[in-house]
Amino acid sequence: MSDHNITLAEDAIERKTTTINLGPTHPATHGVFQNIMELDGERVVSSEQTVGYIHRAFEKLAERRPLYQITPITDRLNYCSSPINNMGWHLTCEKLLGVQTPKRVDYLRVIIMELARIADHLICNSIVGVDAGAFTGFLYVMQYRELIYEIYEEVCGSRLTTNIGRIGGFERNFTNTAFTKLEKFLKEYPVALGELESLLTRNRIFMERTIGGGPISAERALNYGFTGPNLRAAGVDYDVRVHSPYSSYEDFDFEIPVGKTGDNYDRFLVRNQEMWQSMRIIQQAYNKVQDFKGTDAEVYHADVPEYYLPKKEDVYTKMEALIWHFKIIMGEVDMPKGEVYQSVEGGNGELGFYMISDGGRTPFRLHFRRPCFIYYQAYPELVKDSMLSDAILTMSSLNLIAGELDA
């Protein structure tokens, strides 16, 4: 038998790496993200992100807008969970203005915020499934996100960019239809979430694709400013809802799920568990809301005539109400001087609002702490030496939202 092995001379074949351009518009990036990657075969040698493709200068715009005109801007940060951004913004304004919200308002807000968190995590986790090759889950859970959007619609009239709530409360009381829809969601969603989990959580292909992909240690995650589920997946139990409770989160009983390795699989598990916890919170909040009887059950906003629009029938019949309506819509109310930092637990991390008011009608400076802008920096470190297909999975499991990233 002859020897078929081919022996090559030294340097006969050049070892070469390939540079590829992933994005800005690529079906696998789920948003406007560009990555320039240096590949050795299918292995990522190094990468660099380019951000800013949908930068809209929100911080500059906010310097010319009165408070209510900034709410629609916050919608467009993390648009998978707009209500959390809206509430966070209203909480910031309330902190500056010294507004105390009634308990019922807090509980209603908690319901909406937790619904938004579920909608956010649901998208992220089912997209992780899509990128691992399982499209079914994504299509299937969309109808349950639809149930959430119907509740938004019933409360504020819109679905994606919600502009929900007002300073001091909500624009109108929750209708009975809204509560019926909430009950329907509470009944149907756990079944669907259980099914999504049974599709993916112990699925061997899914596990082998996600375990060990894009891991980060707790130290590195903290140093990189990770927050939210991504930090918790690395094993740090930091949650704004517990550490700096807002909107009466201290009245609720829930757990903070944590992971261990900070890899794609842990991030997936943490988000799934958080959805179960959110269901618990919503159920508790709904029970608390139902405990209000008589006139207490009619309370849906605080008494802040300078910032809360008067009733429409008063606007049409009373001079004073008409004046306030005009002043609020045109933003002709001076704010107190001050500097506030208020943060909320957004869908993907700590969403902070740093507002400086010089006593004028618009903020002197408004800065958004956007969680994914801060943790996206770690991406090259997360995907170094991994396969290109795992790099894509890592990107979707980080829950990056382009609107928030670029502000």
Partner 1 sequence: MAISNEYIQQKLTEKFGDQVFNFEDTYGMLCFEAPKELNLKVLQYLYDEPSLSFQFLTDLCAVNYPESANRELAVVYHLHNLVENIRLRFKVFTPVATPDVFTATQLFSSANWMERETYDFFGVNFVGHPNLKRILNVDEMDYFPLRKEYPLEDQTRIDKDDEMFGRG
Which residues form the interface with partner 1 (CB under 8 A)? 51-52, 55, 57, 59-61, 63-64, 95-96, 220, 222-225, 236, 238, 243-244, 338-341, 343, 350, 352, 354, 356, 364-365, 367, 369, 373-378, 406-407
Q: Give least dist CB 325 to partner 1, A.
A: 22
Backbone φ and ψ of 237, nearest 5°: -90, 55
Q: Give least dist CB 171 to partner 1, A.
A: 26
Peptide bond into 24 cis (omega under 30): yes
Cα–Cα distance for residue pair 287/310, rounded to 1 Å: 29
Return the number of the residue (185 or 376) whose C-beta is nearest partner 1: 376
Q: Give least dist CB 373 to partner 1, A.
A: 7
Report which of 296, 281, 252 is spatially closest to residue 104, judged by C-alpha positions: 296
Place of tokens 């004073």: 320
Question: Which pairing describes strands 337-345 and 34-40: parallel, antiparallel, or unpaired?
Answer: unpaired
Q: Give least dist CB 407 to partner 1, A.
A: 7
Q: Give least dist CB 228 to partner 1, A.
A: 13
In our burial notation (b when 16+ CB lie closer than 10 A, e otherwise), range 214-240 reads: bbbebeebeebbbbbbbbbbbbbebbb
Could you report how far apart the first and last alpha carbons of the chain are, in Å? 68
Return the number of the residue (165 or 352) whose C-beta is nearest partner 1: 352
Which tokens hold the place of 86? 């809206």
Return the number of the residue (315 or 374) whose C-beta is nearest partner 1: 374
Q: Which helix (H) or strand (E) holds 112?
A: helix 103-131
Angle, alpha carbons 368-371-375 (nearest 5°): 135
Return the number of other C-beta atoms located less than 10 Å from residue 361's C-beta. 16
Return the number of the residue (173 or 244) whose C-beta is nearest partner 1: 244
Place of tokens 């969603």: 189
CA distances from 304 to 100, 107, 295, 322, 381 (A): 9, 19, 18, 15, 48
Return the number of the residue (43 or 369) whose C-beta is nearest partner 1: 369
Return the number of the residue (265 or 368) whose C-beta is nearest partner 1: 368
Return the number of the residue (333 or 340) whose C-beta is nearest partner 1: 340
Place of tokens 């292995």: 43
Return the number of the residue (193 or 335) whose C-beta is nearest partner 1: 335
Q: How would you list the strands of the sheet with 43-50, edge to edge?
A: 18-22, 34-40, 43-50
Q: Give least dist CB 190 to partner 1, A.
A: 32
Return the number of the residue (312 or 337) whose C-beta is nearest partner 1: 337
Return the number of the residue (210 or 399) whose C-beta is nearest partner 1: 399
User: For 119, left (φ over 0), alpha (ψ -120 to 50), or beta?
Assistant: alpha
Q: Give least dist CB 356 to partner 1, A.
A: 6
In our burial notation (b when 16+ CB lie closer than 10 A, e otherwise), range 36-59 reads: ebebeeebbeebebebeeeeeebe
